[in-house]
Each structure stands twice: as C-alpha cells, then as structure tokens.
Chains A and B, each alone.
Chain A
Amino acid sequence: MISLTVNGHALQFDGDQDMPLLWYLRDIEGLTGTKFGCGAGLCGACTVHLDGAAVRACQTLLKDVAGHKITTIEGLSVEGTHPLQVAWQHANVPQCGYCQPGQIMQAAALLRETPHPSEAQIDEAMSGNICRCGTYTRIRSAIKEAAEQGASQ
C-alpha cells in the first residue's frame, strides 16, 4: 500500500508498485489528461509535476512517488486559468492537441524556475516534448506571453 497526493487529493494504492505513474493516473484514477506517447521518456506527452518539478510519468514508478505530491494538467488550475492555459488559447497553439498537456506542464515548470526565459532557454527546456503537428513556433510565443503575464506565480 502506498500513499500519494494527486492534485491535492490524498490517494492510496495497493496494486503493483512498479507500475509507472502514467498508467496509474490514466487507468486507475481516470486522469487521462496525462498522455501516453512513447513509454520511454522520449516525447514528454506524459509530463506531470512531482513536488513541483517536471517529470515523465511513464518513467516514474509508483513506489518512488509514495508520500509525494503529483500535479497533472487537470490540477494545474481549477478553472483552466493558469497563464499558460490562457496564453495557449490566445495563440491558438494546439492543432490536434494531444501533446499540449505535456507541453504546458513542462512550460509551467520552466517558468517556475525561470520566470523570463530567453528563446534559447525555452528551446532547451521544451526540447523533450515532441509535437508532430508542428506547433513549436506558437509554443514559443505562448510561453513568452505567459511569462509577461507572470506565469511563475
């Protein structure tokens, strides 16, 4: 039995503790905003926050998050009003949208560490997140816009 906190809710799980957090979130808790893209830490679609830092849920085992706080896209803001979520909609960033929760969670971690990132810092922080639709130039714009709005708060 392990205990963890997801989006502010205390949860317990007595199944396979070697299960990656990704499948626990999606299949057990029904939090499908965290996406499966590669299962190997190569694409960033499953990015969540572990105690505030961006991690790949597909590479994070349940036993390693016991007692920790997880935030998923569903918990980034209550009403979808995080400055990044606002900026993403303002710039009409998504095409298919599938990778965007992971992109936003990665960007949120970036802005927490670096409230006003340079374009090079944006590229470096976001280069683990693949978008096959090719929304990269808009992702850069939206991150800059959110930074101006004070997304680090």
Chain B
Amino acid sequence: MIHERNITPGMANVSRRAALLGLGTAAFVLALRLPVQADESTGGADKKYAGAGMPNGIRNDPKLFLSLAPDGTVTFICIRSEMGQGVRTGLTMIVADELHADLARMKVQQADGDEPKWGNQDTDGSRTTRHHFTAVRQVGAAMRQMLEAAAAQKWGVPASEVETVNHEILHRPSNRKLGFGDIAAAAAALPVPPPDQLKLTDPAKFRYIGRDDQKIVDGFNIVTGRAGYGIDTKLDGLLYGVVLRAPVYGGTIKSYDATETLKVPGVVKVVVIDPTPIPSEFMPLAGVGVVATNTWAAIQGREKLKVEWNDGPNASYDSATYKTELEGLARKPGLVVRNQGDVDTAMPKAVKKVVAEYYIPHLAQAPMEPPAAAARIVDGKCEVWACVQSPQAARERVAKRLGLSNDDVKVNVTLLGGAFGRKSKPDYAVEAALLSKAVDGKPVKVTWTREDDLGHSYYHTVSVEHLEAGLDASGKTVAYLHRTVAPTIFSIFKPDQQHEAPFELGMGAVNVPWNVANLRVENPGVEAHTRIGWFRSVSNIPHSFAIQSFIAELAAAAGRDPKDYLIELIGPDRIIDPGEQADGWNHGEDPKLYPYDTGRLKRVIERVAKEAGWGRKPIQGRGLGIAGLRSFASYTAACVDVAVSKDGQISFPRVDIGIDCGPVVNPDRIRSQLEGAVIQGISLATLGEISFKNGRAVQTNFDGYEVTRIDAAPREIHVHIMDLGSKDYTRPLGGVGEPGVPPVAPALANAIFAATGKRIRNLPIRDQLAG
C-alpha cells in the first residue's frame, strides 16, 4: 500500500462503548436492558442483529468509501479506529479483492466521527471485521461493476464482455484496456448497483484475503516515527494542558489556590473543570486544568496547585474491605440468572462436593499512549483530534458539554497507541474542548500522564466468583452452582445498578456449555465505588478464570485428566440456542447464525492440546494447563506450558493458543492479536492489580502497576487458526481482538497446578508460589 509520509494523526481496537452510546435514547441500550424473558416474549421479531443492531447501522455505499484519483490511486476510507488490531489493513484487503485492485496502489484515509454519514464507528466488541466483511465486499464489488459499466459505455461494448484484472479494466475481444483513473469520473456518475445485482468475487480468486504475508498499512510510518497518534497532534499556536482531577470518583473541589501555578514560566491559564454528577458516564471528572506553552510547564504548574477536595460518597472505598464484602455476598443466594434442573435436590445427593472461590481484582487498561486529545473552537464550531474508539461518542459528549449541536463538532480520529477499552470513554476529548473554550478557542492538547491514567481509569471490574459442584460416584458432575459478584459497567450510566448486565453475564457466566442436568447461576448485587469500564474481553476475564480453573479442580477431585474432563463436561457435539443458556445477548448476533456450537469448541481444545503435546511424560517443575471457551462469536483455547523454579519463579517455555473465528481475512493479524492476548493474559494473571485505599487508586505508575515485560514473555507462542486456508466464506465471521485473552489466565493457573499441586484462586499470582 502507499505510504502516507505526510501523515495526519491517523487511527485504534477493542470493545466498548458497546452499544452504550446515547444511553437513554438509543434503542440498543434498551435492548440490552431487556431481561431475556421479555425479549423472548416478543419472539425477537423486532430485534436487529449484528451491524444492523448497532446505532446508525452499517453502510455499503461505494461512493462514500472509495475515491479514485486520475493516476489510478484508490483511496479507501476506514471508519473504524486503528488501535493495533489491524483494521486499516484488513478492511483494505477486503475492498481490494472485490475491486480487483492492486493493493500497492491503494491508500487508507481515516474517517472523522460522523455516524449519520458513515454508519456505526464503535471500534469495540471484536466486531469490525465480522460486521463489515460483507458490506466492504459490496463496496468493492459495486465500484468494480461501475468501472466496468463506464468502460463498456465508452467502448460501446456489452458490459458482460468487460472485466477487471489487477487495477485495469479489460475488453479482451478488442484487446483494449483502461486504468481506473481513466474511467473514474465516468464511473462515479453511474448509479450504484443494488446489492442483489452485485457479482461478488469467487473466494478461490482472492489475492489478499486469507493471505498470510500482508504487511500492515502503517508499518513504515510506525518504524520511522512518522505515525500520528492523538498525543502527537500538532496545530498552529497549540497550547498544552494537564488536569488535576478529583482523586475519588464523585469528588468535587472544595477550594483551590493557583497562585504559585501562575508564576511558573509558560503557564497561560488555570481552568476549573466542573464536576459531572455521578454516575458520570463518559463526562469529565471534577478538576483543575493548567494550560501552558508546553507540556512540561503545564506539569510543573500542576504540581504547584493547592486543591482541597470533597471526596464524596466513595471516600472510603477500600479494596480489601470490598473483597470481604464480595465474599460475603457470594456465599449467600442471589438473583437467579440461569436455572435448569434442580440443583438444590441434586447437590446433597452428590458423592463428592467441591467448593471454590476465586478473586479477580480491578485492572487498568494502561495503553502505552495514555489518553490525549486536542481541541480548538473557531466561530462557534469545535474541532477535536483524538485517539478515540468511539468518535461519535466523543462528538456527542463534546457537543453536549459545550452546548453545541453535533453538527458543530468535528472529531478527527488519530491512530490509537493501544486502547484495550480505555479509549471508548472519551472524557479526555471533552476536557480538551473545555480547556480550549477557556482560552478563547485557542487550540489546546490535553495529555494524561501515566499517573492520571492509572488514577482515573474506567477500571476493569473486580469480582468474587463462587463455584460449587456435586460429583457422582464416577466423578461426573451432576450439579453445578456459580455465583458471580462484580460491580457492573452499567453503574457509570445509571444510579443503583447492582447486577451484572446481560452483556456481562453473557460473557461466559450464564452461557456455559456444560452437559449437566442441574445447573444454576446466580448474581448477587453489589454497588460500584469507582468508574467501571470495558477492558479487553471484559467480564470473560473473571468468569473464564474462575470457571475454567474450577473445571480443572473438578477433574482433580474426580482423579481425571483435566482436558478429558473438560471435553466430557462440554458433552456431545450439539448446536445450542444461546437463549437456552439464558443468554439473550449473544454478542448482539442472531442466535440462528451464531448458536453455541460445542463441536467447534471441542475441536479447538483438542487442537491446542495436540499441538502442545498434551499427555507428554511429566517433567520436573513443568506443567501443562488448558482452557477453552466461546467468546465474541469465536472459539478459543489455550495450553500453557509453565516452568516453576524451586523458589517459585514462573516462566513460559511455550504457549499454544487456537482460535476458530470462522472465515479468515488476515491470518497475520489474527496471529498478532492472539500473540498479544497471550501476553496480556499472562500480564493480568501474574502481575495485574489496581487496588483502592480511601477511595483512591493505590498504584500510580508502571512500578506499582506492573505489566509483563519481554524477559517474562513466553519463549514461544504458537497460534493455531482453525480451517486456515478454507475458501468457504459463506460462514459467519467471529471476533478476533478479544477472544484470545480469556483462556490464558486459567490455562496458566491449571498449568501451575499440574507443575506444583498448588491451586491459584486469587489473582494476581505475584509471589504466591514463593516459599
């Protein structure tokens, strides 16, 4: 692809605003809020799935997304944010294959945030490729047919005699050809053929889709330092801002003194950011902003601020106390969210009962590029440059806070230096707009320091997962009870939200495939005391860690091989309607197209087991652990080979991870996403924890909030993509960005058990194996 050497800050990945855009107005939110039973009562007749169910839907208009220059260069507009998942590369491969274009002659341009124009832009939920594959194919095919029709008119030949090969339109009978640029204007004047008249390309003729050696679009700019992220935004007359925020969620300013701040050379202005009443959604926290002529001066000025805070209702939030509260709740009956058979009758009859509790702490996404945004206001119109996963959400929030219409706010989307869910919440874009407004609309870039990021994240939830099972004389599970207790993401949107939302329960809590007659899942309620937000793979993390660890504990109790036990618990190959699992959400997908297919799950588990050498002769101090589940409409399994030293240090000779995500678009980016998921899974399992004391996050930087570094990374990561090479592109696509994360932590804990006999039930592992 053509390198944009004069790069505008350009593009990001993971899941989040999910659907929550426009809470209170968007139908999608209402759908999320409906209990499963009510949803079923309508027969699902009015329910929209996949991209059609997202706010503003999905577009397939070639005139919207493609432009052809006279020299034949094709520019494709990417409407989703690039955060490392490879969306700019993957979507361009798809359009190139249908356009029969030469990828080397294509450019990618990043769309601004404008959903009424572009369709849904939420880059989250591992949805971009699965929701856009068909639409982008249609974009490419329609433009190709328009080019062919225009050429046919020019030549006076039937369109059926014209074809497009590698960026040229050919009429073989007369041996004539035209470049895209030669006919672009005429093609653009033609009507767009409707979808039912499109001739999609035979997958056997794909030149890019499915190919494993595609270089990423932004590679050259990244390795030369030219790639533009939100934090890199440059504007004429740019000022630089940082904000001192209320350290406790819901806190307000009691008093402040900026006298010393204003003496710092370079400081231009001190700006009060009014609090947003809690729940504060995506709006800024109360704070005092410092605007200066460079970031360093702003930071120096901020250090000299004297602020007294009213800490508000969350002033006493304490992780240790909260853990005790969660444990107490998990040991008592709670709201039943799935029930089949009769657990209360079956459990006492069991020959053996196993009970275990797991704790998974808060995490911060901590993308390497912290939140950052620039804004300026000219003639009553605000323009923003920001690394956001949800540019429309940013636009709406900026408009609301400034009292403008959405049309008077433009959000330019840069590249995202990682996101992992943090950047679906655009509070920092609103801050930039407020700082700009305070300096008469001059451009201001707000940069979050790492301390800001870790102190004011939208934290991954914290939970206690309580599991009980009854085994019969043969070791078979005959009764299964799971209580999950965790503050919900919904708590940032509405008051008094105590229960996990359907989309949280549907991330592996209720929708377990176990072939067990008596099964109940409960969700005792609990209040949130900090901002809870999406973190890559979201509630799958605690649910999967607990459940997949517990299954291995059951295997141990039954004296069985954990992989065999897992496979047997999944049971015979069958297609399960997610509704039968009390999962009315199903990642927003049509249950008929996306049922729970236990055969696919078992195959990916067996594949990683085989590749990892499951059943090998025991090695002293080494162990294999396995886990496998469905998430984001894909099936993933991981097998971790851990080495535990005598002093309890762990290392990873090898990790195998497999995915069945249906049809494959860009194998290299699937591999890279799963390699990264292994690292992120190991990081959160071994080191990750944000704790709270007096309402404040305790960890402030990468010394306290440690993350996995290269020396602790596995020596080898082997990624196995199911059905790689298949040309069947009729099957529905699954997600890729997130599903790799959930199996890693439990596979690791199960490997440690295999190596040492010690069972990890509290994350992070840290030094639990020492001594």
Contact = CB atoms under 8 A, between A and B. Distances in A.
Q: A and B from one assembly?
A: yes
Given A38-B702, A95-B86, A96-B416, A132 B367 contact: yes
Interface string A18-31: 01100110111011
B226 interface: yes
A104 B221 CA distance: 13
B6 to A, nearest CB: 13
A37 B450 contact: yes
A37 B450 CA distance: 7
A134 B297 contact: no
A126 B712 CA distance: 11
Interface in A58-86: 72-74, 76-77, 80, 84-85
A49 to B, nearest CB: 13
A92 B232 contact: no
Interface in A1-57: 15-16, 19-20, 23-24, 26-28, 30-40, 42-43, 45
B668 interface: yes
B224 interface: yes
Interface stretch (B38-46, B540-548, B703-711): B703-711
B222 A35 contact: no
Interface in B647-704: 668, 672-673, 675-680, 683, 701-703
A83 to B, nearest CB: 11
B224 A133 contact: no
A140 B218 CA distance: 21
Interface residues of A, number: 62
Interface core residue of B265, B367, B716 (most chain A CB under 10 Å):
B367
Interface string B259-273: 000000110000000
Interface in B531-582: none
B300 to A, nearest CB: 8
B404 interface: no
Given A16-B296, A16-B297, A133-B418, A39 B450 contact: yes
A41 to B, nearest CB: 10
A99 B677 CA distance: 17
A95 B680 CA distance: 13
A150 interface: no
Main secondary structure of the interface of A (DSSP, over half): loop
Contact of B234 (A32, A35, A73, A124): A32
Given A34-B225, A73-B224, A124 B702 contact: no
Interface string A116-135: 00010011101111111111
Contacts of A84: 223
Contact of B417 (A23, A80, A96, A139): A96
Range for the number of chain B residues in contact with chain A: 35 or more
A98 B372 CA distance: 13
Interface in B434-471: 447, 449-451
Contacts, number: 200
A97 B84 contact: yes
B710 A140 contact: yes
Given A27-B240, A36-B231, A135 B294 contact: no
Contacts of B228: 32
B420 A32 contact: no
Given A42-B703, A124-B711, A138 B223 contact: no
Contact of A45 (B85, B240, B368, B710): B368
A26 B675 CA distance: 31
Contacts of B299: 39
A13 to B, nearest CB: 11
A96 B368 contact: yes
A137 B717 contact: yes
Contacts of B668: 92
Given A36-B231, A95-B672, A129-B710, A80 B224 contact: yes
Nearest to A99: B368
Given A33-B226, A132-B418, A123 B231 contact: no
B244 interface: no
Contact of B368 (A126, A130, A139): A130
A46 to B, nearest CB: 11
Contacts of B680: 132, 134
B225 A88 contact: no
A40 B702 contact: yes
B714 interface: yes
B220 interface: yes
Nearest to B420: A132
Given A42-B702, A92-B668, A99-B368, A137 B675 contact: yes
Contact of A123 (B221, B366, B418, B710): B710
Contacts of B226: 33, 74
A34 B676 CA distance: 23
A134 B234 CA distance: 28
Select the residue from B84, B367, B370 with max chain A CB neighbours within 10 A.
B84
Nearest to A97: B222
A131 B224 contact: no
B223 A88 contact: yes
A20 B367 contact: no
A5 B215 CA distance: 34
A31 B714 CA distance: 34
Contacts of B266: 15-16
A6 B348 CA distance: 75
Given A32-B232, A95-B672, A97-B417, A39 B449 contact: yes
Nearest to B668: A92
A19 B215 contact: no
B246 interface: no
Interface in B42-97: 82-86
Given A32-B232, A97-B84, A92 B672 contact: yes
B701 A94 contact: no
Contact of A20 (B224, B296, B449): B296
Given A95-B673, A98-B368, 16 more contacts: A16-B300, A19-B294, A19-B296, A23-B295, A32-B231, A39-B701, A43-B368, A72-B225, A73-B224, A74-B224, A85-B223, A96-B84, A96-B418, A129-B709, A134-B679, A138-B675
Q: Which 3 interchain pairs have the tightest Cβ spacing?
A: A33-B225, A134-B679, A98-B417
